Chains A and B, each alone.
Chain A
Amino acid sequence: EVQLVESGGNLVQPGGSLRLSCSASGFTFNSYAIHWVRQAPGKGLEYVSGISNDGGRTYYADSVKARFTISRDNSKNTLYLQMNSLRVEDTAIYFCVKGRGGMRDGYNYYFFDYWGQGTLVTVSS
Chain B
Amino acid sequence: EIVLTQSPGTLSLSPGEGATLSCRTSQSVGSSYLAWYQQKPGQAPRLLIYDASSRATGIPDRFSGSGSGTDFTLTISRLEPEDYAMYYCQPYRSSPPYTFGQGTKLEIK
- A residues adjacent to B (C-beta < 8 A): 35, 37, 44-47, 50, 57, 59-62, 95, 100-101, 104, 107-118
Contact = CB atoms under 8 A, between A and B. Distances in A.
B55 to A, nearest CB: 12
Given A113-B50, A115-B45, A117-B44, A44 B96 contact: no
A89 to B, nearest CB: 16
B94 A107 contact: yes
A70 to B, nearest CB: 11
Given A100-B50, A109-B92, 14 more contacts: A45-B37, A45-B88, A45-B103, A46-B100, A47-B100, A50-B97, A59-B96, A109-B93, A110-B92, A111-B47, A112-B90, A113-B56, A113-B57, A118-B44
B44 A101 contact: no
Nearest to B30: A104
Contacts of B45: 37, 45, 95, 112, 115
Interface of B: 30, 33, 35, 37, 39, 43-47, 50, 56-57, 88, 90, 92-103
B15 to A, nearest CB: 26
Task: Give 8 nearest A-B pairs by CB, closest first.
Answer: A59-B96, A111-B35, A115-B44, A45-B100, A61-B97, A47-B98, A109-B92, A107-B95
